[in-house]
Amino acid sequence: MAQVKNRLTPFFENITFDREDNELILNFGPQHPSSHGQLRLMLHLQQEQIVKAHPDIGYLHRGMEKMAENMIYNEFMPTTDRMDYVASSSNNYGFALSVEKLVGLEVPRRAKVIRMMLLEINRLMSHLFWLATTALDIGAMTIFLFAFREREYLMDIIEGYCGARLTHAAIRIGGVPLDIQDSFIAQLKTFLDKLPANIKDYEDLLDTNRIWLMRMEEVGTIPTDMALSWGCTGPMLRASGVAWDIRKEEPYELYDEVEFNVPWSDKGDNFARYRIYMEEMRESAKILYQTIDMYQECVKNGQTELMAHAPQYISAPKLDIMTQNYSLMQHFVLVTQGMRPPVGEVYVATESPKGELGFFINSQGGAYPYRLKLRAPSFWHTGILTDLLPGHYIPDVVSIIGTTNIVFGEVDR
Amino acid sequence: MRAYKPKGNVQAKPYYTDRYWQAPQVAKFDVESDEVFAADLAAIKAKFEVSDAFIQVEQMTVWINPSDIYGVLELMKDELEYTQLSEMSAIDFLEQRDEFEIFYQMLSMNKRKRIRIKFSIKNGQAVDSVSNLFRCADWSEREMFDMFGIEANGHPFMKRILMPYDWQGYPLLKTYPLEGDEFAAWYEVDKIYGKEARDVIGPEIRDTARIDRYDSERFARLGHEVPFGMDPDKEENKDKAQSYQEDGGVFLIKKLDKESSVVIDDPQR
């Protein structure tokens, strides 16, 4: 093939680089290591100070909403893994729950307990990942290694459960496909017993660290009304003075049966967000201890069911499929044609590690969702940079992006 | 003559539907069954026209006129404590009735309630921007414009957000195929190499899972892969086969022995 000249020229919208007013325009990303993915920021600078910020997203856009319209409901489940790939079970769960609400399924108690375990493990994995990468951006290499070490234990547990480390697809519509493995609880307990000491290690290294405090305290302050107006949820909102946790306020699964606190702060700065992530890890550990007890109670009471019983929507257990003709027929129809939920709309929000993860489904009674809108928290946590960054200095950009905890699989979808 | 295929909705469809099958409905409940929702609806009805309202899956849906959207959201934000706009977007009903349905998903943290405000607009009509009330609508409306081509009046920066600035077509319309249209197939080729390279490179196949089962030239010639466009059967290309394995081999993976692999010439074998 003949050598062809590369015609890919940069395309800048409404931006002139020759300016008389001493303003510098800096193109930050999309390949910047601390942009946590493919974030491009156009920063207008007066010396080191940012006067205007323009986040540009879409570099990881895969059209998941379009894909959802072309997949049967069960087919879409592994695709949700690729949204927030740091905590993929939370996405699986959000989708499964919204379809269950649409159809009106009741999930067996044992499956609910296992789901809660997976969700909280995912929350811990996500928060540890956040801590590692944010600390690394600010220059704390030790924390990065420590937190990744702990995350590795959790990934091993998850790998033992579903065979995957990042893209779990561990939750099904109507329950969970498998019971937890024999070693699961022992491994989890070993991890949880060590976790308080680990968190203390991180805090010893960071809480009074001068560099960390300079990058965190009084930097990136989000007032309450701005956080609400920009649709912030999760730790971003709780750091800005609103103690809103969907697990507590609109409980799903068995979150109304477990005891945990919702850490919040009215400071709104980076440091408040950092403290909330640390406290949430402790709360997750508390929930996990309680779910272990709940699981053992299920075992004692002989509750073995893992999938909801709804032959019209969910395949029968494997034993029935292999022994009973009618179950096999239903299974065949559900696999080849897919379930057909009733006509209607549903919006279900769950508390993912990043914030409110919502699934809006409009079903016209077909095997494919007519419209599926993914409400990913990171989308608006990126948008808020438009209003948050002006007034800050260049070095603060990295720490602010870090504490917003955005994941680009979720922003671009 | 080719068989006519309707172009109004080119998304995947089930290959079989029972002719007597009737889709069931998600249950709708009367708004009066919930006190909080009933009070909210009364407050909205006092000032604006409401064409329909019901409770579905624990949330209230309120149908209003398109021109009232700013007023309704302002009322909900200032007086009814619905402080957050969780999500907004459109649903494409162009094929059925030449309309888009727009929904606004509202959340009240004090009341722990969620309301969905909905209205329909005709194709080509714009909506009123609510980005003055809720800053997050700034990005949501841009996304809606990007995906459906619905513009928001009074929006400060009505540009594409997820797709490239110079993209043509609106990906979430039902008329837009999943693998992209003609423009999408040539977008990167035209942009990087220029139109004159179209013959050399060919259109981009955006379905990465696609396997051309009639391609017996390049597909499944393990150890004998050649670069695109090169004829693998020509004598001078024999030694140009690409190797995808490390020279030293990889732990646990058997090194491919090219001499012992066979090229099957007859696909019908």
pLDDT tens-digit map of B162-216? 998 889 999 999 999 888 888 988 998 888 888 888 888 888 877 666 655 555 5
CB < 8 Å to B164, chain A? 58
Predicted local distance difference test score (pLDDT) of residue A192? 93
Whether A248 contacts chain B with CB within 8 A: no
A384 to chain B: closest CA residue: B136
Structure tokens at B242: 């690409």
CATH superfamily of domain region A65-380+395-412: Cytochrome-c3 Hydrogenase, chain B (1.10.645.10)
**Which of A63, A343, A360 has the CB atom closest to B23's CB atom?**
A343
Predicted local distance difference test score (pLDDT) of residue B265? 67
Neighbours of A238 (CB within 10 A): 26
**Are the C-beta atoms of A403 and A39 separated by less than 8 Å?**
no
- Count of A-B CB contacts under 8 Å: 149
Going by pLDDT thresholds of 50, 70 and 90, the confidence category of residue A1 is: very low
pLDDT surpasses 80 at B253: no
* Position A219, amino acid: V
Task: Give the CA count within 13 Å in the CB-facing half-sphere of A33.
Answer: 7
Going by pLDDT thresholds of 50, 70 and 90, the confidence category of residue B21 is: confident
A335 to chain B: closest CA residue: B14
Neighbour-count burial of A80, counting CB atoms closer than 10 A to its CB (0-12 exposed, 13-18 middle, 19+ buried): buried
Q: Summarize pLDDT for A255-299 with one digit per residue, the tens.
A: 989 999 999 999 889 999 999 999 999 999 999 999 999 999 999
Going by pLDDT thresholds of 50, 70 and 90, the confidence category of residue A304 is: confident
User: Do A71 and B171 make contact, defined as CB atoms within 8 angstroms?
Assistant: no
Average pLDDT score, chain A: 88
Predicted local distance difference test score (pLDDT) of residue B251? 76
Going by pLDDT thresholds of 50, 70 and 90, the confidence category of residue A12 is: low
Structure tokens at A22: 């001493």
Sign of the four-CA dihedral B211, A67, A10, A379: negative
Predicted local distance difference test score (pLDDT) of residue A3? 46
Going by pLDDT thresholds of 50, 70 and 90, the confidence category of residue A239 is: very high
User: Do A346 and B12 make contact, defined as CB atoms within 8 angstroms?
Assistant: no
pLDDT top residue among A91 and B8: A91
Going by pLDDT thresholds of 50, 70 and 90, the confidence category of residue B269 is: low
- Percent of chain A past pLDDT 70, that is, above it, reads 95
Predicted local distance difference test score (pLDDT) of residue B103? 94
In sequence order, what DSSP letters do the residues of A272-320 get, joined into one string? HHHHHHHHHHHHHHHHHHHHHHHHHHHHHTT----B---TTTSPPPHHH
Predicted local distance difference test score (pLDDT) of residue A4? 46
CB < 8 Å to A11, chain B? 165-166
Residues contacting A151, CB < 8 A, separation 6+: A124, A125, A128, A129, A132
Q: Summarize pLDDT for B91-132 with one digit per residue, the tens.
A: 999 999 999 999 999 999 999 999 999 999 999 899 999 999
Whether B24 contacts chain A with CB within 8 A: yes
In sequence order, what DSSP letters do the residues of chain B get, joined into one string? -PPP---S--S---S---TT----B--EE-GGGSHHHHHHHHHHHHHS-EEEEEEETTEEEEEE-GGGHHHHHHHHHHTS---EEEEEEEEEEHHHHSEEEEEEEEEETTTTEEEEEEEEEETT--EE--TTT-THHHHHHHHHHHHH---EET-S----SSS-TT--S-TTSTTS-TT--HHHHHHHHHHHT-GGGHHHH------TT---TT-TTTTT-TT----TT--TTSGGGGGG----S-TT-BTTBPPP-GGG------TT-
The ranges assigned to domains in chain A are 65-380+395-412
> Residue A87 carries which DSSP code?
S
Predicted local distance difference test score (pLDDT) of residue A48? 83
**Are the C-beta atoms of B49 and B65 separated by less than 8 Å?**
yes
Whether A312 contacts chain B with CB within 8 A: no
User: Do A70 and B56 make contact, defined as CB atoms within 8 angstroms?
Assistant: no
Q: Summarize pLDDT for A340-389 with one digit per residue, the tens.
A: 999 999 999 999 999 999 999 999 988 999 999 999 999 999 999 999 99
Calpha distance A409→A166 (Å, rounded)? 13
Q: Beta partners for B107?
A: B84, B114
**Cα dihedral B47, B48, B51, B52 in deg (nearest 10):** -60
Structure tokens at A167: 């893209």
- What's the mean pLDDT in B12-36? 88
CB < 8 Å to A66, chain B? 171-172, 176, 178
Predicted local distance difference test score (pLDDT) of residue B218? 54
**Which of A11, A69, A345 has the CB atom closest to B11's CB atom?**
A69
Q: What angle do CA A261, A264, A265 make, to 5 degrees?
A: 150
Predicted local distance difference test score (pLDDT) of residue B41? 92
Sign of the four-CA dihedral B144, B149, B153, B155: positive
Q: How far is CA A120 from CA A98, A134, A192, A281, B48, in A?
A: 19, 21, 12, 9, 44
Sign of the four-CA dihedral A229, A233, A237, A238: positive
The ranges assigned to domains in chain B are 28-136, 177-209, 211-264
Whether A244 contacts chain B with CB within 8 A: yes
Whether B3 contacts chain A with CB within 8 A: no
Residue the block writes with tokens 């079970």: A89
Q: Summarize pLDDT for B38-74 with one digit per residue, the tens.
A: 999 999 999 999 999 999 998 999 999 999 999 999 9
B77 to chain A: closest CA residue: A229
- What's the mean pLDDT in A330-338? 90
- Chain Cα centroid distance, residue B101: 16
User: Do B25 and A342 make contact, defined as CB atoms within 8 angstroms?
Assistant: yes
Predicted local distance difference test score (pLDDT) of residue A148? 92
**Closest CA of chain B from A334, distance in Å:** 12
pLDDT surpasses 70 at B252: yes
- What's the mean pLDDT in A152-163? 91
3-state secondary structure of A389: coil
- What's the mean pLDDT in A106-134? 93
**Which of A107, A108, A109, A88 minimizes the C-alpha distance to A99?**
A107
Helix (H) or strand (E) holding A363: strand A355-363
Which ipTM did the prediction report?
0.86
CB < 8 Å to B192, chain A? 6-8
Whether A365 contacts chain B with CB within 8 A: yes
Residue the block writes with tokens 């009735």: B97
User: Do A337 and B16 make contact, defined as CB atoms within 8 angstroms?
Assistant: yes
Whether B20 contacts chain A with CB within 8 A: no
Domain B28-136 class, CATH top level: alpha beta
CB < 8 Å to A347, chain B? 57, 59, 86-87, 105, 114, 116
pLDDT surpasses 90 at A36: no
